[in-house]
Structure 1
C-alpha cells in the first residue's frame, strides 16, 4: 500500500524538506527521509541555519567552529564556510535523485545574504560566489523576489546558475519573476550556456497570506468575513499556478523550451499550518498539481506521511473558486496588493533579523572556542 508521500510524488509533486543541519546529514537522517518519505530536495534559509548552529544539544558544529577560530576566521567567513559545507554535503547525498530525475530534483538551496535584498549588484556577486564555493550542479541559489532582486535573478541565470526565487507573495510580482527567468534564459543562450542544465523554482509563500488576511477579516466580526478565513493563501497559490500554465505556453517561453530550456516550477513555501484549528496538511493536500514542489517543515512532512489524504489534482479544478474568494475579499475592502506588499516587506525584515541572529550565534561560538 502506497503512502501519502508516495501518492504526492506520483501526482507530480516534488517533496522538499525545509530544513538542514550537519547532524541531520551526519546521522543518516537526510538519506533516510529520501528513502522513507519521498523527499527529493532541501531548502534552507538564515532561520534554519541559525537554529541548527545555535542548537545547544547539537555538537556537530563544535569542531569546525574551533578550526575556523584557530584560523582567525571572522563571523561572515565562518558562516560562509559552515553553510556552504552543509549544502555541498547535502547535495552529494541527493546526487542520485538529481541523476534519476534528469536534474529536476535532488536540489539543495542556499540563500544570498538578506542584507543584500535591495542591492542588485551585491546579490548577483554573492550568488556567483556561493555557486562557485558549493561547486555542485544540483545546488540552487536563493534570491528574493524584491524589485532589486529581479535583475539579479536574470543576471545569475545568464551565467548558467540555477536559481530558487524566494519570497513571492503577489501574482503581479510572480509575473515579473517569470519575465526575469525568461530574460535570464535568453541571455544564457546568447552567452553559450546549455539551457537544459539551468533550472529554477519560484517560491510562492502560502500560510503567511492567510495569517495576514485572517487578521483583517477578524476585524469585521461578521459571518461573511468568518467564512472567508483560511481561504486566501490557497486561492492565491492556485491562481499562481494558472499564471504559470498560461505564461509557459506562450511563444516566448516555448521558443526557449524548444532550445532545451526548462519551465520554472512553482514551489509552495510556508506550508506549515499556523492555525491549530485547521487541518495540519491543508497547504499540501489542497495544492496538488503536476510539476510543482512543496517544501515542508519536518512536522508537516510527518503529518502528511501519517494522515495526508491525496485525491489527485486539487489546483486546476479550483481556479473559479479562487477568483471568487478574491472577489469576495475585494468586496469587503481587503486590498490584496497591500497585503502582499506588507508580507514581502515583513519577509525580508524577518530574514534580515534571522541573519543577524545567526551572526551573533556564530560570533559567540567563535569566542567560546578561543577561551
Structure 2
C-alpha cells in the first residue's frame, strides 16, 4: 500500500513540476511576444499639439494608415480633407471618424492619382473652395501591382506613388506658402534602398517589367522629390519630410496575395506578429506632420518617429533635380500652372 502511495505521490510531483515548467515557459514566451510586438510597433508620436483652425489634406485616407492618420488629425481639431478614389468607402470611413472623434469637420473629395486630369481637378476645386492648407500628407499608394499603364500612358506604380503626388503638391504649393508655416509629408518606404531611377526607361519599355523594381523606383522617387522640394521651398515657411511607416497589416499588399496565394497563406500567421497595426504604422506620419522643432530637418527621412539615414542614392542632389525636371515634363507642369 505504501508503495502505491509513494508511486502516486511521485507521479503527482512529476506532473506538478512539468506543469510548473510548462507554465514558466508559457509565461516567458508570452512576455517575449509582448516585448517583440512592442519593438515591432516602433516609435509613438507623443506630441499633444492641437490643430484647431488648421486644414489637413490626406490622400488615400479611407483605409489603413491613411485612415488612422486622418483620425488622429481630427482628434486634434483639424479640418480634415480625405482625398480618395473610392468615394463610397471614403464616406463610410469619414462618418466613422466623425463619430469616434466628435469632429464633424471631416470631408471627402474625389482624387484618383492615376489620372493627371483628376489631380488637376482636385487641386483647382480645392483652391477655389478652401482658404488654407497647413499640412499635405501624400499617403496613398500601390504596391507591386501587375504591369499596366495609366490613362496618361505611365507605368502605374510610378504614376500613382510619385507622379500624381508630385503634381498635386506643386499645384497646391502657393496655398501651402500662403498658410505657412506648413508641411508636406511624403510616405515612402525602406524599399527605396536598393532602388534606382531608370530615367531612360521609366515605363519599362526596353526591359522586362519587375513589380518590385518598379516599386523601389517609385519609393526612391518619393525621397528624391522630398529632397528637391525642400531645397526649392527653403525660406518660404514650407517644410517637407519623407518616411518609412514600417511593414503594416493593410491591403497594400493585396497584389502579392493575389499572385502568390499559397505563399501568402503560409506566411499569414507568423507575418501578423511581425507587422505593425495601421495605428502603429501611422505614428511616423503623424510625428512628421505635427512635431514642433522639425523645421531644421526639412528634406530628411524618418522611421519609427526618428531621423534615419536614407540610401546613398536618395542623397544625390543632381538626381533629385533631374527627377524634378523629368516629373514636371511628364505631368505637363509649367510655372504658370
Q: What TM-score comes out, normalization by structure 2 length?
A: 0.36
Higher relative contact order (CA 8 A, sep 6+): 1
Which structure has the larger Rg? 2
